[in-house]
Chain A
Amino acid sequence: MNLEQELQHIVDTFAASAPRASYWTLRLVDEVHEALVVRDDVAEPSSLGLSRGAMVTVLADGGLGYAATSDLSAAGLRRASEQALRAAALHARRGLFDAGLYPRSALRAQYRSPVTEPWAARTLRDKLDLLFEACAALDVDARIVERVAWLGHRRTVQRLITADGGDVLQHWEYVHPGLSATAYVDGQTQTRHGGGADHARQGGLERIAASRLIEDAERVAREAIALVEAPECPSGRRDLVLLPSQMTLQIHESIGHPLELDRILGDERNYAGLSFVTPEMFGSYRYGSALLNVTFDPTVPGELASCAADDECTPARRVHLIRDGILERPLGGVLSQRRAGLPGTANARASEWARPPIDRMTNINLEPGEGSLDALIARVERGVLMDSNRSWSIDDSRNKFQFGCELGRLIEDGELKGLVRNPGYRGISARFWRTLDGVGGPETLEVRGVTNCGKGEPNQGVYVGHASPPCLFRDVEVFGGGL
């Protein structure tokens, strides 16, 4: 049997003794992942991971419950159904909301990541040879004290079926190459990443060439050395140009998370936190300057979280979250939308078969404006350009933030000047986006994302896509390192 036949067999097995519930869903997840690492010209043990499991969700007697299991036999699925029914009974007795709000779906859809060169097209040895070459290319100087090159692969096939005839089959594939070089001189250590390290997207082995894994190595190593020898980033208020490699994090932390509807509903208050955004703000609140346009867009080909539907079986569509600076809608799946009485998005997502769906970002993109990066820089009299996030911290309402980058460059009188190390900046989300004074044009847009978005109880880590051009912010508090 091939994979899809095997999943069909499990679906048939489950359907033959489906739980006695007013509604149910079965979410089957089959995943293969592989990690290859070469460090200082030595290959670390290659790892191959295989995972298959199911999440049964039931709506029964006024309650909602779930159970996850790796036992996909008829008996195992029956046991999971029984456990889900017991959880539903607990919810029925003490539930936060009417379980009848849970969305029913008969959606039938499919999704497949765009892949040009499949992971299996090259042998393990070929892939390791590539990493040895990249690692060797990082060896430019004795001041480089650690060199790492890696290649990760993940293939996830998920089939979600519902009691109402819903059937969504999604096939995601990712290849993540990356490089890091660490330089050390006289008590100062600096690490630089590249080769795709912060440029994750869906796809196959073609991501290696697109990420310039080999070609990027020398630049990465030389910049690590240059940073060790660079002066500290100055402290004070300056204009700030953020490259897409940092805009990814800025969008993620201070737009994406604050707009998650489950935070606004209070579900996350014990862990990930709440939000400075409140329900009455939607439709009128000025989130940023008129240059700020942000979309929820799961349709961008190859962006990290593109999909056909979310894990409540709601079709995924592009919508604006912020238009011309005005807040329009939150990030909330249908269940959250009904609880809050607000519009939302198709973003109820689970990280794996063993976790239930909650409100997550998918692809949250800052729409391009006009002009080149040089044109943005030319408008700065006294500022700093920052590249590649390395430190992130924000308060539980997603307001007071402080972010650090790997590399900074001074801007004086509209021109880029020397490197500065340990660049950081801090601000308050509710004010920061109103200082947005320049957004690069479509030709400067970069499609990136993060692979470590954490949230939820129990905890879940998911992939999230972000596309952005470089942006200019005025009068921001910047600083460097040191005691």
Chain B
Amino acid sequence: MRREAFFGLADRLNGRLQGDEVLFARLGVEASDFVRLNQNRVRQAGSVRSADLGLTLIQGRKQVEGDCQLSGDSTADEAMALSLLQRLRERLPHVPDDPYLNVGETALEIHRDLPATLPDSNEAIGTLTEFAEGLDLVGIWAAGSLADGLASSIGHRCWQQSHSFNLDWSCYLDRDKAVKESYSGFDWQPAALAERIARQRERLAVMARPQRRIEPDRYRAYLAPAAVQELMDMLAWGGFGLRDHRTHQTPLLALVNGEQRLHPDLSIHEEHGRGLSAGFTDEGFAKPPRVALIEQGRFKDCLVDARSAKEYGEPVNAAVESPESVAVGAGDLPADEVLARLGTGIYVGNLWYCNWSDRNACRVTGMTRFGTFWVENGALVAPLAVMRFDDSLYHLLGDRLEALTAERELILSPDTYGGRSSDSALLPGILVGGIELAL
């Protein structure tokens, strides 16, 4: 569904409102190709076309929400949307007044179109499998268009659409000896893909050496940006939301209380202005371009969605109370000096399956995975068997943080639960004086 069709549908719905009803309509559209690969061959190929319409019907201080799938046929879609509207209208008398009802009263107009140069999926898979000839490549190609729309009877008219590709893969030598890569963005350049696969072949050559096994202990370590992302995902889980803070559930409680510190070189921001996610919330508020979450190791601001804003009397600055476009500030460690500064220790390419082992202590457990090596005297010497870590972020991002890299990587989320994610992260690698390996 295109922008004009959505706004037209919203106008027709608005024309059917009764009395003082207010309507917010949202649209999420996806047209994606998905090609799964295993052993550098196609495992499963297909496509998905969907359009999800969400409605919030408000009368006085009452509100109800609903959503339905649209087909793309204007007549059928109008009938479906009107049917949903009527069902919501029938629910309104059953719900109590909502003291935290909060919608943007000012008509917002935002339009953003992120153009792209995307190849046909056949072409991309052909290029990839040719470059990866001889490799045991496994992963997924996801590409196509995403669009988000918002319209209201107040007058909101917002639209954002993007076209992008996300190639996420790993190459295996044997069992769990593998190196992972990703290539995502808007401008498909086969040379950039070739560069990544060449880099992967170099790492695989080290991976082919006999695996090193180490005992649980504390080790110096470098965490590459993809590994740092796993730690940021943990902080996103309750670390920054206003509701989590006001109900004492944030894992950063001890930081906020002043009992613990993060390293003064650490700054974390939510950068709505840079990211792919829509610049507006479902309730019709514009997101600010940037929100400082951690500044020089100190907690700065929470992410506040419309509901929490009303409950706690703060301004809205986010659609959801976890980062969608997180950025960690760069440091001064040049990427090409990482191994020399590490000296002897662990190079962690990726972390995996992290979870809280003690949320109050901001303590996280997880596994090393993909491209993790033992380093001696500044050189990768052997692949490392997967190890479990269990450590507090007050250490890894606090007293044991030695440096952040000067270069940062932009990582577009490959997540596709319920649809292709528009989340992204801009992250450096980090050098830590020690990480606790537990198993």
- The residues of A with any CB-CB pair to B shorter than 8 Å are 42-53, 63-73, 76, 79-80, 83-84, 87-88, 90-91, 93-96, 123-125, 128, 145-146, 182, 184, 187-189, 191, 265-267, 269-271, 273-274, 354-356, 358, 390-397, 400, 402, 404, 422, 424, 426, 428, 454, 457-461, 480-483
Q: Are B386 and A397 in contact (CB under 8 A)?
A: yes
Q: Which residues of B contact A95 (CB under 8 A)?
A: 41-42
- Tell me whether B73 and A48 are in contact (CB under 8 A): no
B390 at the interface (CB under 8 A from A): yes
The residues of B that contact A457 with a CB separation of less than 8 Å are 34, 36, 139-140, 168, 416
Whether the pair B98, A45 counts as a contact (CB closer than 8 A) is yes
Which of A48, A188, A459 is in CB contact (< 8 Å) with B91? Answer: A48
- The reply to whether the CB of B422 lies closer than 8 angstroms to some CB of chain A is no
Inter-chain CA distance A75–B418, complex, in Å, is 25
B36 x A402 contact (CB < 8 A): no
B47: chain A residues at CB < 8 Å are 66-68, 83-84, 87
Contacts of B249 in A (CB 8 A): 146, 182, 189, 191
Point out residues on B near A: beta carbons under 8 Å: 32-39, 41-51, 56, 63-73, 76, 84, 87-88, 91, 94-96, 98-100, 121-122, 125-126, 129, 136, 138-140, 142, 168-170, 172, 175-176, 178, 180, 247-249, 253-254, 257, 259, 307, 352-361, 363, 365-367, 369, 386-388, 390, 392, 394-395, 415-418, 420, 438-439
The reply to whether B417 and A356 form a contact with Cβ atoms under 8 Å apart is: no
25 pairs, CB–CB < 8 Å, chain A vs chain B: A43-B95, A44-B98, A45-B64, A47-B65, A48-B64, A48-B91, A49-B66, A49-B67, A50-B67, A66-B46, A71-B73, A73-B71, A73-B73, A90-B122, A182-B247, A184-B247, A187-B254, A187-B257, A354-B48, A396-B367, A400-B386, A459-B416, A481-B358, A483-B363, A483-B394
Q: Which residues of B contact A124 (CB under 8 A)?
A: 91, 94-95
A396 to B248, CA, bound (A): 33
Contact flag A458-B68 (CB < 8 Å), given A69-B49, A70-B51, A91-B45: no
Other than the given A182-B249, A273-B176, A274-B175, 9 more pairs (CB < 8 A) read: A48-B66, A51-B68, A69-B49, A73-B76, A125-B94, A182-B248, A269-B38, A402-B355, A424-B357
- CA of A91 to CA of B136 in the docked complex: distance in angstroms? 17
Shortest beta-carbon distance from B243 to chain A in Å: 8
How far does the alpha carbon of A123 sit from the alpha carbon of B90 in the complex, in Å? 11
Which residues of chain B are within 8 angstroms of A428 by Cβ–Cβ distance? 439
Return chain B residues, CB-CB under 8 Å to A404: 355-358
Residues of A within 8 A of B45 (CB): 63-66, 87-88, 90-91
A77 CB, nearest partner CB in chain B, Å = 10
In angstroms, Cα B41 to Cα A267, docked, is 11
Judging by beta carbons under 8 Å apart, are B48 and A68 in contact? yes
- Chain A residue at smallest Cβ distance from B359: A189
- Specify the chain B residue showing the minimal Cβ separation from A266: B38
A393 and B71 contacting across the interface, CB-CB below 8 Å: no
| In the complex, the 10 A-B pairs of residues with the closest C-beta atoms, listed nearest first | A481-B358, A66-B46, A458-B416, A124-B94, A457-B140, A87-B45, A96-B41, A184-B248, A70-B69, A125-B94
A88 neighbours in B (Cβ, 8 Å): 45
Name which residue of chain B comes closest to A83, CB basis.
B47
Task: Give the CA-CA distance A276 to B135 in the complex, in Å.
Answer: 22
Contacts of B126 in A (CB 8 A): 94
Q: Are B38 and A96 in contact (CB under 8 A)?
A: yes
A56: min CB distance to chain B, Å: 9
Contact B175 A46 (CB under 8 A): no
User: B73 touching A396 by the CB < 8 A rule?
Assistant: no
The distance in angstroms between the C-alpha atoms of A32 and B259, with both chains bound, is 47
Which residue in B34, B354, B439 is a CB contact (below 8 Å) of A458?
B34
Closest chain B residue to A30, Cβ basis = B69
- Chain B residue at minimum C-beta to C-beta distance from A126: B94
Task: Indicate whether A356 sits within 8 Å of B248 (C-beta atoms), given known contacts A270-B139, A402-B390, A457-B36.
Answer: no
Q: In the assembled complex, which residues on chain B have CB atoms less than 8 Å from the CB atom of A69?
A: 48-50
Chain B contacts for A65, CB-based, 8 A: 45-46
Q: Is the pair A402, B388 in contact by a Cβ cutoff of 8 Å? A: yes
Residue of B nearest to A68 (CB): B48
- Contact at B170–A270, with CB atoms within 8 Å? yes
* Contact of B67 with A393 in the complex, beta carbons under 8 Å: no
The answer to whether A90 touches B388 (Cβ under 8 A) is no
Cα(A424)–Cα(B363), bound, Å: 12
Cβ-closest chain A residue relative to B370: A396
**Residues of A close to B307: CB separation below 8 A:** 44
- Decide: B139 and A94 in contact? CB cutoff 8 A: no
Evaluate contact between B38 and A48: CB separation under 8 angstroms.
no
Residue of A nearest to B250 (CB): A189
Chain A: which residue is nearest B251 at the CB level?
A189
For residue B165, give the distance in angstroms from its CB to the closest CB of chain A.
14
Residues from chain A with a CB closer than 8 A to the CB of B50 are: 53, 68-70, 354
| Chain A residues, CB < 8 A from B248 | 145, 182, 184, 189
Q: In the docked arrangement, what's the CA distance between A68 and B44, Å?
A: 13
Choose among A83, A96, A274 the residue that contacts B176 (Cβ–Cβ < 8 A). Answer: A274
B42 touches A189 (CB 8 A): no
Query: A48-B65, A396-B176 in contact; A482/B358 too (CB < 8 A)?
Result: yes
Residue numbers in A under 8 Å from B37 (CB-CB): 96
**B98:A42 contact, CB within 8 angstroms:** yes
Contact of B69 among A50, A83, A128 (CB under 8 A): A50
B87 contacts across to A, CB distance below 8 A: 48
Instruction: Give min CB distance, B190 to chain A, whole Å.
Output: 17
Quick check: B66 and A47 within 8 Å, CB to CB? yes
Determine the distance from Cα of A382 to Cα of B66 in the docked complex, in whole angstroms. 53
Q: Decide if B46 touches A68 in the complex (CB within 8 Å).
A: yes
Whether B68 and A270, one on each chain, are in contact in the complex, defined by CB atoms closer than 8 angstroms, is: no
Whole-angstrom distance between the alpha carbons of A79 and B386 in the complex? Answer: 46
Contact, CB under 8 Å: A393 / B365:
yes
- Closest Cβ–Cβ distance, residue A150 to chain B (whole Å): 15
Q: A145-B248, A424-B357, A481-B363 are in contact. Are A71 and B388 (CB under 8 A)?
A: no
Please determine whether B88 and A84 come into contact, CB atoms closer than 8 angstroms: no
Q: Give the chain A neighbours of B36 by CB distance below 8 A.
A: 267, 457
* Cβ-defined contact, B44 with A128, below 8 A: no
Interface residue from A42, A145, A402 paired with B357 (Cβ < 8 Å): A402
